[in-house]
Each structure stands twice: as structure tokens, then as C-alpha cells.
Structure 1
Amino acid sequence: MPARVLVAYGTTNGSTARIAEAIADVLNKEGLAAEVLPAPAVTEVESYDAVVVGGGLYAGRWHKHARRFVRRHRRALAGRPLWLFSSGPLDASASERDIPPVPGVRRTMTRLDAKAHITFGGCLEEGAKGRIARMIVHNGKGGDFRDFAQIEAWAARIATELADQGA
């Protein structure tokens, strides 16, 4: 039976959900059984062999649903392989260099002994929710900065690491 991997995410406008789906697609193609769920919909993590958690970044903080998820499931997460990702920069910087996790995510990594974290570019386009988001788009600072080749390569590394562990 293939290893079961949960990919949970917190998002406001759907950009992070699409990243989570891309990660799960790669994991499934690599022979794992990946399931994608919005973080608030996850009731348990014990049935999964590994977990990937992602959240959009807003004003230097991880999305509230991602924060609540890791807090609510901290005991179970501490006992299994865990990877974290963030999405947010509205420029090409995440594709050009490694962006360290924001302080709250760094603390989560330490507390839960996460294997790795990566920051991907974000996406903010017309129709975005929230006054500030709409203002950013209106001022021409929005766009789609997600690098799906980078996302897929990171997911493939997770699959390889899980295969090497015999998960």
C-alpha cells in the first residue's frame, strides 16, 4: 500500500490551494496516495504517513488556517514526516533565491521538527478578497508569481525522501 500523504493548506483567494494541488499531483504521480484538503476540513492526521502544510503569507504571518491547523494537530504532526510551505511574494524573488520562513513558521518548524520549508511566489489577481488585496491589484502590484516547475521539483524531492525512508 502506498504511503498516505496529507497536503493541507490555508488560503484566502485560492492561490495556495492551487500550489497544494500541484504538490499532491506530483506525489500521486510518484506512487504515493496524496490527499489535498483545506486545513479547516481536516479532522485528524493520524491516518497519514506524512503531512505537507502550506499557508499564504499576509503581513508577515502565515494564513490563520495553517496556523490553527498546526496548533490543533501538533501532537500527531510531531510524530510523522512534515514539510511546510508558504506562498506570498508578489514578485519573482521566490524563484530567484531561498526566502527564509517568517518567524511564526520558523517556530513551528522547530517545535514539530519539520523536514523542510520553502517559500513560493504568490498570486493576487482581479477579484481578490479583501480591501488591501484589491488595492494592491488596483495599484498594479498584483500578478501570478507562482513557479510551478519549482513547486513540482520540491514535491518530487518530498516523494524521493519518503521513498528513501520506506514510507
Structure 2
Amino acid sequence: MTTKVLAAYATKNWSTAEIARTITQVLRDEGHRPEMLLVGDVVGVQAYDAVILGSPLYEGRWRKEAHRFLRRESAALSKRPVWLFSSGPLDDSASQGDVPPVPAVHHALIRINAREHVTFGGCLRDDTRAGSPKRS
């Protein structure tokens, strides 16, 4: 049975969008029907069988629009399978093993009964100015 999956994400410099795009492609290759949307473009999650939600980390926090999405959709999210992901550590900690979710994401994980959280390493883009690292 194919599953309609929403891959919703917040982003600043588009690296998190690349993670969401990769997840979407893997789901498509496995026979599911994924749709990838910015969290601000999601009208609701009722039409989806499952949801994957991700955001970059800035100073140990998800982006505000990702938190707004979680608050707005928490009742609907708690009724379907949900997976969360974060992107952002620039060191090799994400490749060395599981990185626990930051506190606010951990609380959301419990509140909506999400299946799992994964942290992916962040990246510096070529257009990042020296002295002001940008993660996404």
C-alpha cells in the first residue's frame, strides 16, 4: 500500500531543504507518495498518512516557523506517524552517533508521540561570509 507522506521543513539557507528533498526521493523510490513543502505553505496535515518534519538548529533551537507548525498541527500530528529531524551541528558529532534532540524538540516529540528524531550534520555554503557561519 502506498502512503501519502508530507515532508515539511523550515530552512534559512536551503541545506535543510536538501535533506527534505533526499528524504522525499527515498520515499518515492520505496513506492510512497511524498510531498515536500515549506512549513509555512502547509495548510493542514489531515490529507497525509504520515509526516516528516525538520528544521535547522540555530543556537540550539529550531526555527520559529517550525515551532508554530508544531503548535498549530499538534492535535492532527498526534493521530498519525510522525518523524522529526534537525540539521545543524557543524562538527562531526552527527556522524559519530545519535545526537539527542534539543529540549524544545524533545518535548514536542513526546507531546505528539513522534516515532523518532534524527540530527543530521549541517553545512557551510560557499556563499557564507567569513565570521558569520550560516547553517540551515
Q: Tell me the TM-score normalised to structure 1 length.
A: 0.77
Structure 2 residue aligned with 1:91: 91
Structure 1 residue aligned with 2:37: 37
Deviation at 1:134, TM superposition (A): 5.3
| Unaligned residue ranges in structure 2 (runs of 5+) | none
Structure 2 residue aligned with 1:7: 7
Alignment counterpart, residue 135 of structure 1, candidates 126, 131, 136? 131
Query: For residues 31 and 127 of structure 1, do their structure 2 counterparts lie closer, same or farther at Cα, with a shift above 3 Å needed?
Result: same
Percent of aligned positions with the same letter in both sequences? 50
Counterparts of 2:114 and 2:131, CA distance in 1: 35
Q: Tell me the TM-score normalised to structure 2 length.
A: 0.93
Deviates more, 1:62-71 or 1:48-57: 62-71
As a proportion of its length, which structure holds more helix?
1
Whether contact under 8 Å (1:9, 1:65) holds in the other structure is no
Counterparts of 1:68 and 1:134, CA distance in 2: 31
Query: For residues 33 and 125 of structure 1, do their structure 2 counterparts lie closer, same or farther at Cα, with a shift above 3 Å needed?
Result: same
Deviation at 1:135, TM superposition (A): 2.1
Whether contact under 8 Å (1:87, 1:121) holds in the other structure is yes
Q: Which amino acid aligns with 2:123?
A: C
| Unaligned residue ranges in structure 1 (runs of 5+) | 144-167
Matches within 5 A, 1:19-30: 19-30=19-30
Rg bigger for which structure? 1
1:48 aligns with 2:48: yes
Deviation at 1:64, TM superposition (A): 1.4
- SS of the residue corresponding to residue 131 of structure 2 reads helix
Q: Which amino acid aligns with 2:131?
A: M
Counterparts of 1:65 and 1:8, CA distance in 2: 11
- SS of the residue corresponding to residue 26 of structure 1 reads helix
CA RMSD, 1 decimal? 1.8
Deviation at 1:136, TM superposition (A): 3.6
Deviations 1:121-165 (A, max 9, x none): 00122334xxxx75244xxxx79xxxxxxxxxxxxxxxxxxxxxx
Structure 2 residue aligned with 1:67: 67
Structure 2 residue aligned with 1:106: 106
Counterparts of 2:99 and 2:81, CA distance in 1: 22
Whether contact under 8 Å (1:16, 1:87) holds in the other structure is yes
